[in-house]
Amino acid sequence: MTQPVIKARGLVKRYGKVTALDHCDFDLMPGEIVAVIGDNGAGKSSLIKAISGAVSIDAGTIELEGKPISFSSPLEAQDAGIATVYQTLALSPALSIVDNMFMGREIRKEGIAGSVFRALDHAKMREIAREKLSELGLMTIQNIDQPVETLSGGQRQGVAVARAAAFGSKVIILDEPTAALGVKESRRVLELILDVRSRGIPIILISHNMPHVFEVADKIHIHRLGKRLCVIDPKEYSMSDAVAFMTGAKLPEGAVEAA
């Protein structure tokens, strides 16, 4: 059997008296897109934060490619290969596309210029950035020295995804990637998501947009009351089924609603 990329068991997270995660499980297999949906307050974002290292869990285990992991910051998660594209994108608007792509992992020149004078190798970073953007079909972005703030929302999303995909990531978490975008731009971003998967990188997608979720996801993890209610195949269920599960209006086969 294939080993899951991410396997979480019995995650618990409490904020004071509120239990955000109540013995929650999660699985992500290689090469697949798993969408996480759930009503507001169901604990989706706590689950994602637990996996991306933004919050520490009170109980449970998370394994990355079979090895147990525990992160105290998003930085550590990122170093381990779990890249998150936040809804805010975490880009610096005034800096260029290249600067943003290499933020925190800049390449220095070789020799004394790099080791003593700390000089950056701008040429090399440009080249790599251009290459990574082309791979994802984003080379309609012509001037990569352009400040990110002059890009459209979709283009920014593209830069953020390219950054997440560029540096040997094992998993990419996308938080509401289409929430702020128009129809045309959303389409472009969905294609980008499929492009990334076709490069073999599995994706966790958090979205409220049912059509988008049903279009790109291989599996849909439905989160309810702090735990995984069920995982469904989008081809076998309709959107209204999913919404019904999410809100508790209907129970999936074999699932038992907690008291």
Q: Which of 150, 238, 240, 247 binds other proteins (CB under 8 A)?
A: 150
Lookup result for tokens 């599995």? 202
8: enclosing H helix or E strand = strand 6-15
If one asks whether residue 29 binds other proteins (CB under 8 A), the answer comes out as yes
Cβ neighbours, 10 Å, residue 226: 24
Instruction: Please report, as residue ranges, which positions from 34 to 73 form the binding site for other proteins (by CB under 8 A).
Output: none
If one asks whether residue 199 binds other proteins (CB under 8 A), the answer comes out as no
* Residue (of 143, 123, 139, 213) closest to 176 by Cα position: 213
Nearer to other proteins, 22 or 218 (CB): 218
CA 122-123-125 angle, to 5 degrees, is 65
* Residue (of 166, 173, 175, 88) closest to 133 by Cα position: 166
Q: Which of 140, 238, 240, 247 binds other proteins (CB under 8 A)?
A: 140
If one asks whether residue 235 binds other proteins (CB under 8 A), the answer comes out as yes
Shortest separation between residue 147's beta carbon and other proteins, angstroms = 7
DSSP string, 84-152: EE-TTTT--TTSBHHHHHTTTS--BPSSHHHHTT--B-HHHHHHHHHHHHHHTT-TT---TTSBGGGS-
If one asks whether residue 23 binds other proteins (CB under 8 A), the answer comes out as no
If one asks whether residue 103 binds other proteins (CB under 8 A), the answer comes out as yes
Shortest separation between residue 17's beta carbon and other proteins, angstroms = 27
* Measured distance CA(100)–CA(122) in Å, rounded: 12
Shortest separation between residue 57's beta carbon and other proteins, angstroms = 20
If one asks whether residue 86 binds other proteins (CB under 8 A), the answer comes out as yes
Total residues contacting other proteins by CB under 8 A comes to 59
CA 190-208-164 angle, to 5 degrees, is 45
If one asks whether residue 31 binds other proteins (CB under 8 A), the answer comes out as yes
If one asks whether residue 191 binds other proteins (CB under 8 A), the answer comes out as yes
Contacts with 197 (C-beta within 8 Å, 6 or more apart), sequence order:
31, 32, 33, 203
If one asks whether residue 104 binds other proteins (CB under 8 A), the answer comes out as yes
What are the DSSP E strand ranges found in 16-81? 18-28, 33-38, 59-64, 67-69
Shortest separation between residue 18's beta carbon and other proteins, angstroms = 24
Q: Which stretch binds other proteins (CB under 8 A): 13-21, 27-35, 41-49, 247-255?
A: 27-35
DSSP code for 106: -
State the residues that interact with other proteins by CB under 8 A.
2, 29, 31-32, 74-75, 78, 84, 86, 88-95, 99-100, 102-106, 108, 117-120, 138, 140-143, 146-147, 149-150, 152, 154-155, 158, 163, 183-185, 187-188, 190-191, 194, 197, 211, 215-216, 218-219, 233, 235
